[in-house]
Amino acid sequence: MSGAMNRTYRIAVIDDESESLASICRALKKVGYDISSFEDGVAALQSLEAFQDIDLVVTDLKMPRVDGIDLLRKVREVNREAGFLIVTGHGTVETAVEALKAGADDYILKPLDLFELRDRVHQILEKRQPGNELRFLRRQMAAGRGTSPIIGKSPAIQRLLEQIATVAPTRSTVLLLGESGTGKDLAAQTIHANSPRSQENFLPLNCAALSPSLLESELFGHEKGSFTGALERRLGKLELADRGTLFLDEIGEMPLDMQVKLLRFLETREIMRVGGTSTVTLDVRLIAATNRELARAVEQQKFRMDLYYRLKVVTLIMPPLRERTEDIPLLVWHFLASFAEEHQRPALEVAPEAMQALVQYSWPGNVRELRNLIENLVIFSKQPSLHLSDLPPEVREAPPTGGAEGPPPPRLFEDLNMSAIEKQAIVQALEKTGGNRLKAAQMLGIGLRTLQTKLKDYGMTER
């Protein structure tokens, strides 16, 4: 048993009969499922938050105080995508219909045939695979175990990661829009890394970096002797990305005649190398990016309308850094640690007034500008801390991004080290949610189990 993402499914088993509970758990563990067991419906409801990460619930129907149907309705409040298999010794039509009407996927009669049980479980998981895989990708990204290099806990970034998690498992063409430096290349890598194509090539090509003739050869390849200097056959990026992903950056700069050829590929999935006489069929996922307003370029007849609509099957907007200022301290600490290691420099602290200035600056170059500045500061710093005086004039003298009448900058963390930041973020999230760990985990963008582990590590379980 394995899903499309080659991972272990999580199953919760609830039964008030201890022998039946043990038997079901053994049968499912034997074929590789990750099992959580509960001795009755009451015990399950006491751990209801844990059900947000469950892919399938196998529950006895008739249990004291909380029966299987009541449990189903409660679990659906925290996890609408989990499958439900009802186990019953009361195999009447009325019982089955009641369970199915309540939202169960199937039911199975006692005494159990364990082989049939496994078959039913497998069928439900297969049916619900798209929702299960989507939730798995979200868990990976939120818990930091996925392949997302995108850093941030702001609502804008969390929405983006949700969208990426939705589109990544599909075959759809994706158009990434956003200002220069917002991380469109990282978003493209994240989509590829969390897709079924992740083990194949991810190839980037900057459409503005090459002349039209070189761009055609680079994209489609060429045959030996097709032009002066073509001493041998060369495969293009499209052919090299077969079964993988091709990322076309700055697609808005592609010449019109090349746009025609790219459109033909998107319609036929076939290419012909420069100087070639036969076509090659390819399976390539295309991700394109631009900082231009393509709709306006279409109006100005600088970009083909038919290609524009082919590319914008799924459009993701990369938020500028000035619209997610709460992410700036996290990015600063990430870049400080990364460049200190890369350049073998001592780790730096950041004085509060310096961090305040970094948050208030508007960052016209977005994350790329912040990254370059932090690298420069790491290389040239001669003190253990960065102070306001170390920042360039445009940063330290900049007015708040909201303007004189705008909202105040977000409250900064008081203790500027990673552990303190993390603990304070957890405390603030729990305060805002009235101590609800599930909602706090969602606010922080991490899984419930990750939050519980961190609470234990920091000795905050009682708190």
Give pLDDT tens digits for 414-435: 444 555 666 777 877 777 777 7
Maximum average pLDDT range among 129-138, 310-319, 412-421: 310-319
Q: How far apart are alpha carbons 355 and 357 in whole angstroms?
A: 5
Give the model's pLDDT for residue 180.
Answer: 93
Question: In the prediction, which pLDDT does 393 show?
Answer: 93
Residue 317 has pLDDT above 70, yes or no: yes
More confident residue, 392 or 102: 392
Residue 95: the pLDDT is: 72
Establish whether the linkage from the previous residue to 111 is cis, with ω within 30° of 0: yes
Mean pLDDT of the chain: 83
Residue 5 has pLDDT above 60, yes or no: no
Mean pLDDT on 114-139: 71
Tell me what the mean pLDDT of segment 187-216 comes to: 90
What number does CATH give the domain 322-457?
A: 1.10.8.60
Separation of CA 15 from chain center: 35
Q: Where in the chain is the domain with CATH 3.40.50.2300?
A: 10-127
The CATH H-level (homologous superfamily) assignment of domain 10-127 is: Response regulator (3.40.50.2300)
Higher confidence at residue 79 or residue 364?
A: 364
Q: What is the 3-state secondary structure (H, E, C) of the chain?
A: CCCCCCCCCEEEEECCCHHHHHHHHHHHHCCCCEEEEECCHHHHHHCHHHHHHCCEEEEECCCCCCCHHHHHHHHHHHCCCCEEEEEECCCCHHHHHHHHHCCCCEEEECCCCHHHHHHHHHHHHHHCHHHHHHHHHHHHHHHCCCCCCCCCCCHHHHHHHHHHHHHCCCCCCEEEECCCCCCHHHHHHHHHHCCCCCCCCEEEEECCCCCHHHHHHHHHEECCCCCCCCCCCEECHHHHCCCCEEEEECHHHCCHHHHHHHHHHHHHCEECCECCCCCEECCCEEEEEECCCHHHHHHCCCCCHHHHHHHCCEEEECCCHHHCHHHHHHHHHHHHHHHHHHCCCCCCEECHHHHHHHHHCCCCCHHHHHHHHHHHHHHHCCCCEECHHHCCHHHHCCCCCCCCCCCCCCCCCCCCCHHHHHHHHHHHHHHHCCCCHHHHHHHHCCCHHHHHHHHHHCCCCCC
Q: Is 353 exposed, middle or buried (0-12, 13-18, 19+ CB in 10 A)?
A: middle
Residue 368 to residue 374: CA distance in whole angstroms: 10
**What's the pLDDT at 442?**
66
What value does the mean pLDDT take over residues 157-177? 93
**415-441 burial by CB neighbour count: b if 16+ within 10 A, else e?**
ebeeeebbbebbeebbeebeeebbbbb
Closest CA to 27 of 130, 129, 118: 118
Who's near 357: CB < 8 A, 6+ residues apart? 388, 391, 395, 396, 398
Q: What pLDDT does 456 receive?
A: 75
Q: What topology does CATH give the domain 147-319?
A: Rossmann fold (3.40.50)
Instruction: Tell me the average pLDDT across 12-21.
Output: 93
pLDDT band of 150, cuts 50, 70, 90: confident
Residue 461 is predicted with a pLDDT of 63
Which residues belong to CATH 3.40.50.300 in the chain? 147-319
**Residue whose C-alpha is closest to residue 142's, from 133, 132, 153, 155:** 153
User: What are the pLDDT digits (tens) for 355-397?
Assistant: 999 999 999 999 999 999 999 999 998 888 899 999 999 998 8
Share above pLDDT 70 across residues of the chain, in percent, rounded to a whole number: 86
Tell me which range, 3-7, 61-65, 183-187, is most confidently predicted by mean pLDDT. Answer: 183-187
Sign of CA dihedral 327, 333, 338, 342: positive
